[in-house]
Structure 1
Amino acid sequence: MPVTDPCKAFACKIQACLKENKFQEPACKDVIEEMRECCRKWNDKSFVCGGIDTKGKPQDKSGHY
């Protein structure tokens, strides 16, 4: 049985959000932060977290660091 990537759903949400918002990252900041949170937890078990910066300070809901 294949192992499921714990953060894959978040990666798909980011792609959908970016497409829906004409690839404007600021419009997807909450979804991107959810992905970072997942990667902080599952980085060693998630293939999709390979390029995600998990060392940065989490954003608050206003987008500030």
Structure 2
Amino acid sequence: MSRKDPCQKHACEIQKCLQANNYLESKCEAVLQEMRKCCARYKGRSGCCSGFEREEREREK
């Protein structure tokens, strides 16, 4: 039995927000920030966070 991805809920919220706002990321900044927090908390344990972790590594360069 696999464990539930700890950030899956946030990923779904991002999709819902983007769909509701014609994919304008600026309208979903609060939801995106919650996902970033979740990814920081569960670093390396959430498959949903790969893009956010890559974004963080790019900023650190």
Q: TM-score, with normalisation over the residues of structure 2?
A: 0.84
Unaligned runs of 5+ in 1: 57-65
What percentage of residue pairs aligned between the two structures are identical?
39
Q: Which has the higher contact order (CA 8 A, sep 6+)?
A: 2
**Displacement of 1:47 after TM fit?**
0.4
Q: Deviations over 1:41-63 (max 9, x none)?
A: 0021100100103466xxxxxxx
Partner of 1:59: none
Regions of 4+ moved over 2 Å: 53-56
Task: Show the 5 A alignment for 1:1-65.
Answer: 1-52=1-52, 53-54=55-56
Alignment partners' CA distance in 2, 1:50 and 1:7:
11
The code of the aligned residue for 1:42 comes to Y
Unaligned runs of 5+ in 2: none
**What is the root-mean-square deviation of aligned Cα atoms in Å?**
1.3
Q: TM-score, with normalisation over the residues of structure 1?
A: 0.79
Task: State the aligned residue count.
Answer: 56
